[in-house]
Amino acid sequence: MENLNDTSISKLKGVSLLLAGSVVVCLLPFWTGQYYQQIFTIAFYYVVLASSWNLIAGYTGQFSLAHHAFAAIGGYTSALLVTRFGFPMWAGILAALSSSALMGFILGVLCLRMRAIYLAIATWAFAESVRIFISMTYEITRGDLGLAVPKIFLGEGRGVACYYLFLGLAAATVFMISIINRSKMGYYLRAIRDDEMAARVMGIHATRWKIFSFIISSGTAGIAGAFYGHYNGLLTPVMVDFNEMAFIVIMVVIGGIRSIAGPVIGAILIEIFTETFREFGEVRMVVFALAVIAIARLYNEGVVGTVRQFGQWISRRKQARKDVT
């Protein structure tokens, strides 16, 4: 009974924390300036990318290095359809979802029988090909000069509207991944990650589920990329620069891989840090690299895992004191 109460209390604490966090995030635009609105808008974009990458890397164990490329595929698909063919923006965004999911499917079929380093190299090569293709096809994409993209929301309240748009997108992604994680699919993906052969002899069609998770993950990145293009108003091949992928990996690892909250916390922390210390340029990447090494070496469950562990330690101490008295 006591255990049940402890579990209920812990769940209640979790829900309260989530509610408090949601209220703060929803009200944030009313007490921050435009600058922080922008930082958080971009942070939410990275929440989508980091969470969807966590689905494939954290939950399925497929270390893909092409996630930023799927965002770029989505971004350029929507931008080109809207600017060159006069598609309405919503249709461009839907096409972005389809194109990135389709590319995810193709890459999945080609690469997902590969393991570990081979998968990482193959997906990295794919991402580099996308970057070079965008740079070279100047007539279509305007290459390194950048492609001007019609902006979503215009007028005075644009910053706030975009803030809520990306907040909604991030919330929807986190919700979707949390549903997947609790579903049978979530069990299958985790089983595949832990031991693919054992999963197969349990009756799991490993390749099918890996491809499915790749499609979901790349499609989500594609939508995020499309919205990002219409938010930013300009797309360049920098979107497919390896640094972008490195940022996504860093966000997930620092926040806590294999957890729902990890990529959310990681994306927000890293984005705030990056913007705050913008003047230090590439030195920030060195700091991130050191942080990743430290986390991988000392505590590989990231910030979320550390906080959880700390909470458990406090509870144990409280319990010990209670037992003594």
Partner 1 sequence: MEKQVNSLLQIENLAKDFGKLRAVDHLSLSLEEGEIRGLIGPNGSGKTTLINLLTGVYKPTSGRVYFSGKRIDRLPPESITREGIMRTFQVARLFGDMTLLENMLIPAFTQGMSKREASHRAKELLDFCVLGGLSHEPARNLSGGQGMLLQIVRGFMRQPLRLYLLDEPFAGVHPTIKDVMIETIQKMNREEGVTFLVVSHELTIVRRLCSRISVLHGGRLISEGTMKEVANDPRVIDSYLGG
Window 167-196: residues binding partner 1 (CB under 8 A): 184, 187-188, 190-191, 193-195
- Judge residue 199's burial from the number of C-beta atoms within 10 Å of its C-beta, 0-12 exposed, 13-18 middle, 19 or more buried: buried
Nearest approach in angstroms of CB 198 to partner 1 is 4
- Return the residue of 13, 205, 316, 317 that touches partner 1, per CB under 8 A: 205
Encoded one letter per residue, x for contact with partner 1 by CB under 8 A and - for no contact, window 223-242 reads --------------------
Nearer to partner 1, 84 or 205 (CB): 205
State the Cα torsion 133-56-179-207 to the nearest 10°. Answer: 100
CA atoms lying within 13 Å on the CB side of residue 25? 22
Q: Taking a C-beta distance cutoff of 8 angstroms, is the pair 266, 254 a contact? A: yes
Nearest approach in angstroms of CB 162 to partner 1 is 38
> By CB under 8 A, is residue 248 in contact with partner 1?
no
- Cβ atoms within 10 Å, residue 94: 17
DSSP-derived secondary structure for 51-116: HHHHIIIIIS----S-HHHHHHHHHHHHHHHHHHH---HHHHHHHHHHHHHHHHHHHHHHHTTS-H
> By CB under 8 A, is residue 142 in contact with partner 1?
no
Nearer to partner 1, 230 or 258 (CB): 258
> By CB under 8 A, is residue 202 in contact with partner 1?
yes
d(CA 41, CA 278): 17
Q: Taking a C-beta distance cutoff of 8 angstroms, is the pair 1, 124 a contact? A: no
CA atoms lying within 13 Å on the CB side of residue 122? 17
> By CB under 8 A, is residue 204 in contact with partner 1?
yes
> By CB under 8 A, is residue 197 in contact with partner 1?
yes
d(CA 101, CA 56): 13
Bridge-based pairing state of the strands 234-235 and 147-148? antiparallel
Nearest approach in angstroms of CB 195 to partner 1 is 5
Window 287-306: residues binding partner 1 (CB under 8 A): none
- Return the residue of 79, 127, 149, 206 that touches partner 1, per CB under 8 A: 206
> By CB under 8 A, is residue 15 in contact with partner 1?
no
Nearest approach in angstroms of CB 193 to partner 1 is 8
- Return the residue of 142, 151, 158, 200 that touches partner 1, per CB under 8 A: 200
> By CB under 8 A, is residue 6 in contact with partner 1?
no
Residue with tokens 């965004």: 93
Enumerate binding residues for partner 1 (CB under 8 A): 184, 187-188, 190-191, 193-195, 197-206, 258
